Amino acid sequence: DDKPERRIVVFGAGYIGLVTGACLAQLGNQVVVRDIDPEKIRLLQSGEVPIYEPGLGELIARNKERLTFTLDLQQALNGAEIAYVCVDTPPSASGDADLSRVWSVVQSLEGASYLRAVVVKSTVPVGTGARVRAALDTVGLQHVGYASNPEFTAEGTAVRDFLHPDRVVVGVSDEATARLISELHEGVDGPVVVMDVRSAEMVKLASNALLATKISFINEIATLCEKTGADIEHVADAVGLDHRLGRHFLRPGIGWGGSCFPKDSEALRQLANNTGYHLQLLSAVIEVNNLQKRRAVQKLKDELGTLMGARVALLGLTFKPGTDDMREAPSTVLAARLLAEGAEVSCWDPMARPAEVEPWTSTSRHVSPELAVEGADAAIVVTEWPQLKEVDWARVVTAMRRPVLYDGRNLLDPAAMRGLGFTYISVGRP
């Protein structure tokens, strides 16, 4: 194996930065991850991982000879040939992505004399690469190459997605940088697709928007199934067998959340608005997603008559199973609506970090689903944690004040639940 070992600095020790750093170390490079959060770096230096991501802790431990963590900028830049930008780009008040963290990383590269390329993995508006290029020129890094390398890993499967991707997208404006970044991906089990910077930036936003579109589409068809007596699971299975459509991302539910789809779909809509073109379809996709959460609360209200004084248990809080991430989780929207309607909310989640969970959960969070539903008038399956399949539902039905179960993820079997005595409601199934 004559692939050279590169010295790489990764800026940002969040989900993307840690996975990128650990995987690049695994591929045989010397990696230092730099963050400005002292607590995060302290944890990482003492061998702990500040987030929950399956396989990441093991990968970091296995590569500890080649992977270090620091707060110190000079130490991070020392000898670095390639700088990865993995900082977050949260939405600003206007809806545009807030790029301030990206700019502060770019400014901090001044004087990095070994640097050959800057790679941006953070999700950014189309045209950001050109602006970063110009900023690099002003800090004396004219000779340094630029690459857009958007991230397509999903939380919960990030390490596998990085090492076995459907594709690696590399947007560059020069041959040398294309070769350098392609070479870095030798050992990654997936095709490297090279294109111009703007197209690479667009691929990321278009991919997430199309995935969100598939979900909102199937959620609307599920609503129509409810109104016509069809069963969405049969419909999605058979529609998905058409290989042009595919079964993935046709799971109906309470709507999409997370750190990416809500933020990226807003950012793409805003990007379009800034060009003077209004994206019709994407606006509807976002609206359907908001409606889906309102409908969940409405269904409970119809069933209970009123939510005033009702006790409602939320089962699962994170935006999807297999993560501790609460960002834009549908549970937070449901809880806020339920509280506004005068309901009392209790909840259970195996992973959500207490400090990050909204205030309502701290007072009424339970160690098991069975305890969370005690005395409840209704329970909602919000996140399809596999633990919920193992619950003793026969016991639950007797522990609840009223056995109303809204399965927002179609996790459980309708006939079995009704057989136990539940008033069982799900999404798009009779």
How far is Cα 68 from Cα 44, in angstroms, rounded to an integer?
A: 8
Distance (Å, whole) CA 207 – CA 256: 15
**3-state DSSP helix/strand/coil % of the chain, to nearest 5:** 45, 15, 45
251 binds ligand UGA (CB under 6 A): yes
The 307-336 contact track toward ligand UGA, x by CB under 6 A, reads ------------xx----------------
Q: Residue from 69, 261, 393, 422 that binds ligand UGA (CB under 6 A)?
A: 261
For ligand UGA, which is the closer residue by CB, 174 or 237? 237
Identify whether the C-beta of residue 125 lies closer than 8 Å to the C-beta of residue 296.
no
Number of residues that bind ligand UGA (CB under 6 A): 20
Closest distance between ligand UGA and the C-beta of residue 269, in Å? Answer: 15
Q: By CB under 6 A, tell whether 256 contacts ligand UGA.
A: yes
Distances (CA, A) of 4 to 27, 82, 118, 140, 397: 10, 13, 18, 26, 62
250 binds ligand UGA (CB under 6 A): yes
| Among candidate residues 295, 428, 323, the one with its CA nearest the CA of residue 385 | 323
Alpha helices in 168-196 (DSSP H): 175-184
| Min separation Cβ 232 and ligand UGA, Å | 11
Sole binder of ligand UGA in the list 152, 190, 198, 199 (CB under 6 A) = 152
Residue 349 within binding range of ligand UGA, rule CB under 6 A: no
121 binds ligand UGA (CB under 6 A): no
Give the alpha-carbon dihedral of 205, 206, 208, 210, to 10 degrees: 160
Based on the shown chain and the rule CB under 6 A, indicate whether residue 260 belongs to the binding site for ligand UGA.
yes
If the CB atoms of residues 66 and 409 are measured against ligand UGA, the closer one turns out to be: 409
Taking only Cα atoms into account, the Rg of the chain, rounded to an integer number of angstroms, comes to 23
Among 55, 96, 220, 249, binds ligand UGA (CB under 6 A): 249
Which one, of 352, 249, 343, lies nearest residue 296 by Cα? 343
**Cβ closest to ligand UGA, residue 80 vs residue 169:** 169
Window of 106-114, 224-232, 249-257, 373-381 that interacts with ligand UGA by CB under 6 A: 249-257
Q: Which residues belong to the active site? A: 260
CA angle at 319 for the pair 367 and 246, rounded to the nearest 5°:
130
Q: Which residues bind ligand UGA (CB under 6 A)?
A: 151-155, 208, 211, 215, 249-251, 253, 256-258, 260-261, 264, 319-320
